[in-house]
Amino acid sequence: MSAIEEKFDRLKTENAPGQESRKSGGDMDKALLGDPIEGRPVDFSHGDVDAFEPTPGSFGLFKQGYEEGGAQAYTEYRGRSLIRDMVAERLAAFTKAPVDADNGMILTPGTQGALFLAIAATITAGDKVAIVEPDYFANRKLVQFFDAEKVPVRLDYADSTEKAGLNLEQLEGAFKQGAKAFIFSNPNNPTGVIYSPDEIAAIAALASKYGATVIADQLYSRLQYSDCPVYSHLRACKGIDPEKIVTIMGPSKTESLSGFRLGVAFGGKSIIERMERLQAIVSLRAAGYSQAVLRSWFAEPEGWMDERIALHQAIRDDLLGRFRASEGISVRTPQAGSYLFPKLPTLSIPPQQFVHALRKQTAVTVTPGNEFAPHSADSIRLNFSQDHQAAVSAVDRLLQLLDRYRL
Amino acid sequence: MSAIEEKFDRLKTENAPGQESRKSGGDMDKALLGDPIEGRPVDFSHGDVDAFEPTPGSFGLFKQGYEEGGAQAYTEYRGRSLIRDMVAERLAAFTKAPVDADNGMILTPGTQGALFLAIAATITAGDKVAIVEPDYFANRKLVQFFDAEKVPVRLDYADSTEKAGLNLEQLEGAFKQGAKAFIFSNPNNPTGVIYSPDEIAAIAALASKYGATVIADQLYSRLQYSDCPVYSHLRACKGIDPEKIVTIMGPSKTESLSGFRLGVAFGGKSIIERMERLQAIVSLRAAGYSQAVLRSWFAEPEGWMDERIALHQAIRDDLLGRFRASEGISVRTPQAGSYLFPKLPTLSIPPQQFVHALRKQTAVTVTPGNEFAPHSADSIRLNFSQDHQAAVSAVDRLLQLLDRYRL
């Protein structure tokens, strides 16, 4: 294998969310037990934007942007200045700390784009980077892509109720070993837990003590359930150096605007400056006309977000009830976001094979747990931003199939 | 300077097309001679999509994509399969060689996205890469970003008429030195010259002899003027290994669809596979709804492209006439694309300062030549896809200002 083949071998995407259609079952089909269980296909690997539609008015704003022509098509690489001004003010109010629209913010092609640029602008080959396990699958891969070294920090989410469960000793250990950066998502993807104010304060204190840069992925931080404890924004935390934190958000999830590919990063000016330089050779800018859609972000119609949250909470609770009624499954209640991360009992087939069987025999797609941490192979992630009834019926089929493969 | 600061210092974008508004004049303002010359502002750093509007029907296709919902919002990372099928067939016909829609093609966020992924999927740190000088500014920067070593190959465009002027000895020398890849644009950006059939055959033979991979950026290859000689597609050339070439195109320029951020790369299956793996952590996919706009690509209304080309050719000829009437300016006739790359006479101020004066005193924006090659500092690039009259008047102001600074 050549150097480039080896490098990319670590980036395999066959099990990544959304790539299932490119996967062939191969030998796994042989182990299937019983007949298919019919039902409406549900793809829990991402949210269903047909069930939860884009923010009202978003298409109209795109149209306005298109009609504006060149001014909206060709923006600065960091995004159009008047849109940044608008969004910065709202993000400052939401995160409770100032946002510098001109020098401390960049619009990106999706939150993924922001994450890529932020990591690329923070670490170089050989650097150590603390990442949480489990956490969003791309964090690990990005660290690998830049030939940096990941230092895992465990999230003991299953043993905690009052906090996310970050192992702070491991985090300090990572910094002591020389980790230059810490990357984490809050709420955590895939578990949906949020970091307690004490945990956030501890992260701020440790990052500050060791001079580390923090990349906080808060993609899901708007979708907080009524039983969610206080959400703390790290960037608003005392003691954190504003130049050493980048916060990432975007309207792809809760607001269902993924088809426009929009994300935003805000924080340290020199990091944002580097991100823009890189964006100039990666994708130039977030699609010009799409940027106009951000005009409605954090300015949705009165009550719209509350309703969206309530509808998701109802699905969450129905699914949680079903998983918990099935023996041997443990699942923590998500406090924000639309992910469930149940841990399955031991089965007669490996978890990867169960995920395959599920897709093949029940038309239910989930993301295997080892995408998020090496030790999470016995868990599966479901994005329950779906049609309520379809999601419930899909989980019923999932549990029925699970029984078939129980030891 | 830290390692990361050093790395990004080489990626400075202050003079990159479109970034001029972020630049402050500083001391340069002191050297300005005379009063401003009034006129309608023209930004030659990119095409004017208000003068040359997006392909008819493109917005309607976006709307259809949006209305289709989830199926168009969440596509495979390499782009929606049915769109790839459609586009692959047309690109095969255009480039005169087969395109594998399923395994040999990827949709990207703009042609820039395709270039970034293609280079990242081809070279690793320490590799040698042959690049043309002058050529698109990002090629050089991308090679630097991946810590590879550029081996410049000179394009003697000014001394040639029957060919682009690639120094084939230097190209072979680069391969002999171990260059693993060759990156070039055809038509060449910034000069607008196209490579002759003999030059393309020679590139194919050399790449094949030394086992090098070629990345052919053909972004502008549809906009060929009536006086353009035969255009040869490297990928259709005998002797080229189809697994070792990636061709890049997109509808951002001639078709004025830049605001949708769409590009495409097609060629070697293993390279495309790596590009997709990387896209999964860079930006996920080209904006879903935007992908639908590609339905009209290479399927524009009858006569539309011919008219567009004729209109550009008329602007080209008017501007060429003006530049050539001014003493000491040399400029080669572009055969395709919408760039002019005149070489200016020696002035009383450095060329960078003239570019600044031009913007400040005449509201005319051009891209300084050293963005394209270290030895091209005395040239400027103009994208003449502009309102015809405005472009002519802007060039008149440019020449008037030039006279002011002549030695």
H or E segment and range at residue B94: helix B81-95
Q: What is the pLDDT of residue A203?
A: 98
DSSP string, A207-260: HHHHT-EEEEE-TTTT-B-TT------GGGSTT--GGGEEEEE-SSSTT--GGG
**Mean per-residue pLDDT for B103-121?**
98
- Average predicted confidence (pLDDT) for chain B: 95
B212's tokens: 């090098």
- The residues that bridge with A184 in the sheet, in sequence order, are A216
Is residue B268 within 8 angstroms of chain A, CB to CB? Answer: no
- Average predicted confidence (pLDDT) for chain A: 95
Instruction: State how far the Cα of B57 lies from the Cα of B87, in Å rounded to an integer.
Output: 17
Residues 6+ apart with CB under 8 A from B208: B239, B240, B241
ipTM over 0.85: yes
**Mean per-residue pLDDT for A106-118?**
98
Cβ <8 Å between B50 and A69? yes
* Helix, coil or strand: residue B367: strand
Position A259 pLDDT exceeds 80: yes
Q: For residue B133, which of B98, B162, B158 has the smallest C-alpha distance?
A: B158
- All residues of chain B having their beta carbon less than 8 Å from the beta carbon of residue A53 are 69
Strand A367-368 relative to strand A380-383, pairing: antiparallel
Predicted confidence band of residue A24 (pLDDT cuts 50, 70, 90): low
B257–chain A nearest CA distance, Å: 8
Residues 6+ apart with CB under 8 A from B392: B315, B318, B319, B322
- Considering CB atoms only, which of B147, B281, B289 is closest to A260? B289
Angle at B314 between CA B311 and CA B317, to 5 degrees: 150
pLDDT in tens, B120-137: 999 999 999 999 999 999
Q: What is the pLDDT of residue A23?
A: 65
pLDDT in tens, B273-324: 999 999 999 999 999 999 999 999 999 999 999 999 999 999 999 999 999 9
User: Up-side HSE of residue A203: CA atoms within 13 Å toward CB?
Assistant: 32
Cβ <8 Å between B283 and A116? yes
Strand B42-43 relative to strand B364-365, pairing: parallel
pLDDT in tens, B295-305: 999 999 999 99
- Considering CB atoms only, which of A259, A270, A273 is closest to B66? A259
A388-405 vs A304-325: helix crossing angle, rounded to 10: 20
CA B24 to chain centre: 26
**B322 in Cβ contact with B330 (< 8 Å):** no
Q: What is the pLDDT of residue A6?
A: 87
B185's tokens: 């644009």
Position A250 pLDDT exceeds 80: yes
Position A7 pLDDT exceeds 90: no
User: Is the pLDDT higher at B363 or at B31?
Assistant: B363
- C-alpha dist (Å) from residue A397 to A147, A189, A363, A400: 42, 24, 9, 5
What amino acid occupies position B112?
A: Q
Position A325 pLDDT exceeds 90: yes
Cβ <8 Å between B284 and A112? yes
User: Up-side HSE of residue B107: CA atoms within 13 Å toward CB?
Assistant: 33
Cβ <8 Å between A77 and B16? yes
Angle at B46 between CA B254 and CA B324, to 5 degrees: 90
Q: What is the pLDDT of residue A300?
A: 97
Provide the chain B residues 231-260 that lie in CB contact (below 8 A) with chain A: 258-260
A137-145 vs B269-282: helix crossing angle, rounded to 10: 120
Provide the chain B residues 147-166 that lie in CB contact (below 8 A) with chain A: 147
**Mean per-residue pLDDT for A142-149?**
95
- All residues of chain B having their beta carbon less than 8 Å from the beta carbon of residue A290 are 261, 287, 290
Is residue B110 within 8 angstroms of chain A, CB to CB? Answer: yes
Q: What is the pLDDT of residue A158?
A: 94
H or E segment and range at residue A43: strand A42-43
Position A69 pLDDT exceeds 70: yes
- C-alpha dist (Å) from residue A326 to A192, A321, A330, A395: 21, 9, 9, 11
Phi, psi of A109 (to 5 degrees): -75, 90
- The residues that bridge with B129 in the sheet, in sequence order, are B150, B181
pLDDT in tens, B205-244: 999 999 999 999 999 999 999 999 999 999 999 999 999 9
Q: For B52-137, where are the E strands, in sequence order?
A: 105-108, 128-133
**Mean per-residue pLDDT for A385-397?**
98
Instruction: State how far the Cα of B336 lies from the Cα of A215, in Å rounded to an integer.
Output: 44
Residue for token pair 């071998």: A9
Provide the chain B residues 312-351 that lie in CB contact (below 8 A) with chain A: none
Return the minimum-mean-pLDDT range out of A14-18, B187-191, B328-332.
A14-18
Nearest CA in chain A to B109: A283
pLDDT in tens, A190-248: 999 999 999 999 999 999 999 999 999 999 999 999 999 999 999 999 999 999 999 99
CA A228 to chain centre: 18
**B124 in Cβ contact with B148 (< 8 Å):** yes
Length of chain B: 407
User: Is the pLDDT higher at A129 or at B30?
Assistant: A129
Predicted confidence band of residue B24 (pLDDT cuts 50, 70, 90): low
Q: For residue A352, which of A333, A335, A367, A330 has the smallest C-alpha distance?
A: A367
A43's tokens: 């793809």
Residue for token pair 């299953």: A158
Predicted confidence band of residue A18 (pLDDT cuts 50, 70, 90): low
Q: What is the pLDDT of residue B2?
A: 87
Q: What is the pLDDT of residue B7?
A: 86
Cβ <8 Å between B109 and A112? no
pLDDT in tens, A157-192: 998 889 999 999 999 999 999 999 999 999 999 999
Cβ <8 Å between B121 and A69? no
What amino acid occupies position B373?
A: A
A47–chain B nearest CA distance, Å: 9
Instruction: State how far the Cα of A28 lies from the Cα of A100, in Å rounded to an integer.
Output: 52
Position B28 pLDDT exceeds 80: no
Position B72 pLDDT exceeds 80: yes
**A101 in Cβ contact with A84 (< 8 Å):** yes
Q: What is the pLDDT of residue B18?
A: 67
Q: What is the pLDDT of residue B160?
A: 86
Position A22 pLDDT exceeds 80: no
Instruction: State how far the Cα of B288 lies from the Cα of B64, in Å rounded to an integer.
Output: 12
Q: What is the pLDDT of residue A20?
A: 67
Q: Is the omega angle on the peptide bond into residue A134 within 30 degrees of 0, that is, cis?
A: yes
A290–chain B nearest CA distance, Å: 8
Residues 6+ apart with CB under 8 A from A377: A350, A351, A352, A368, A369, A370
- All residues of chain B having their beta carbon less than 8 Å from the beta carbon of residue A145 are 278, 281
**A77 in Cβ contact with A279 (< 8 Å):** yes
**A42 in Cβ contact with A398 (< 8 Å):** no
Cβ <8 Å between B259 and A65? yes
Q: What is the pLDDT of residue A25?
A: 65
Is residue A283 within 8 angstroms of chain B, CB to CB? Answer: yes
CA B233 to chain centre: 16
Q: For residue A374, which of A182, A158, A135 has the smallest C-alpha distance?
A: A135
Is residue A121 within 8 angstroms of chain B, CB to CB? Answer: yes
